[in-house]
Amino acid sequence: MEECPKCKKRYYRDFQIGSVGYQKTQRNCIQKVGGLKCRGKLHDVLLDWDDVLPEPDYSKAEEESTKSDLAICMGTSLQMRPSTSFALRAQHAKKLSLIHI
């Protein structure tokens, strides 16, 4: 996924972006703003080890994790913070499944 920092448009891709850690992807935003293309410099939205989960994603993840009936963590060692706590925060979850790939 890529995001434009200028207009916040997100692009969901069916190919690998080629970068991690909020790096520029060499593509420009084509979203129309006021009749003109935004042309903001797109960046990936893939977290690296030291990156924080940005808003609004953090708040949404926190909210949804507290409402879940099942928490599934795939391909994780539960070391990426703050993501580690979302599965454990699932107050209504009756089940927690860890799948190591």
The 3 state secondary structure assigned to 47-72 is CCCCCCCCCCHHHHHHHHHHHCCEEE
Dihedral, 53, 68, 16, 26 alpha carbons, nearest 10: -30
Give the span between the Cα atoms of 43 and 54, in whole angstroms.
14
Query: Residue 69: its pLDDT value, please?
Result: 77
Residue (of 29, 54, 50, 25) closest to 39 by Cα position: 29
Query: Residue 6: its pLDDT value, please?
Result: 93
In tens digits, the chain (101 residues) has pLDDT values of 999 999 999 999 999 888 888 889 999 999 998 889 999 999 998 877 777 777 888 888 888 887 777 777 776 666 666 666 777 766 565 677 777 76
The DSSP bridge partners found for residue 98 are 73
Query: Residue 75: its pLDDT value, please?
Result: 67
